[in-house]
Amino acid sequence: MINKPNFVFFGTPDVASETLEILKQAGYLPSLIVTSPDKPKGRKMLLTPPPVKTWAIENSIPYIQPEKINDLVLEIQNVDLFIVVAYGKIMPEKLIKLPRLGSINIHYSLLPKYRGASPVESAILNGDIQTGVSIQQMEYKMDTGQILVVEKIEILPDEKSGELRTRLIKIGGELLVKMLPDFIDGKITTIPQDETQAINCKKMTKEDGLIDLDGDSVMNYNKFRAYATWPRTYFFKDNKRVIITDAELSDGKFVIKKIIPEGGKEQEYKD
């Protein structure tokens, strides 16, 4: 039987809590969870815990929510490994190197392609037909660590970012569980990233969803698919924002099917 590592999990959104659930099902539970502080959300700006905190409470796992993480170098001692999934904060080099086995991270692209905050959206936006999951040994510079394992998948022709992300989260969690025993035993040979092939992707903004209805149809459709969850694609009519909720690429043309006019309810575009 393989010894289970004493590990700390760093993560914040749903993608991280879903990965924690996959680890739990395989018998891997962290000794501590580090997540972001609660934030105001919604129209009433109610203080809301991140999904990972909710998961920690439900599973009786100790958790902390530091505003600043530099002090964790002193607080966390004698652990084998850090597992990091969408934590949302830059970790100092001393913290990354603190555990006996270092820190590893799941990234939802084929590194060195799409380093950064929006790898899933970027793959769809650029019309890629293939993406995947990379698990890397973390370094201080974002997403530049040596690769431990990779799994490639095809992007389906009409797949939206939310659907693709759901598949990648499952694949990433299962890949992590599969590689952990060999990683702990030192049986994995790391592969350095080819810096000449590196592509960075930025954090999305609400403004990114604006489309030109007279623009390239394929680009518009890819944008619709990439931003279907957030910030969603939209255009302006009579100085009012119109959100596109359903569209397709038909005979090479970008066809809008459903919309939400500003201040209104979803309706057929043809109406």
Q: Which domain holds residue 188?
A: 7-200
How far apart are the C-alpha atoms of 262 and 72, rounded to whole Å? 45
How far apart are the C-alpha atoms of 20 and 22, rounded to whole Å? 5
Residue 56 and residue 140 in one domain: yes
Q: What is the CATH number of the domain that holds 134?
A: 3.40.50.170
- Do the beta carbons of residue 34 and residue 12 sit within 8 Å? no
Q: What is the percent of the chain with per-residue pLDDT over 90, rounded to a whole number?
A: 90
Coil, strand, or helix at residue 175? helix
**What's the pTM value of the predicted model, to 2 decimals?**
0.93
Q: What is the CATH number of the domain that holds 259?
A: 3.10.25.10
Tens of pLDDT, residues 19-43: 999 999 999 999 999 999 999 988 8
**Binning pLDDT at 50, 70 and 90, where does residue 70 land?**
confident
Least Cα distance to 176 among 64, 9, 53, 51 occurs for 9
Residue 192 and residue 229 in one domain: no
pLDDT at residue number 1: 37
Least Cα distance to 202 among 87, 133, 125 occurs for 125
- Tell me the CA distances in angstroms from 23 to 28, 49, 83, 179, one per residue in order: 5, 21, 11, 12
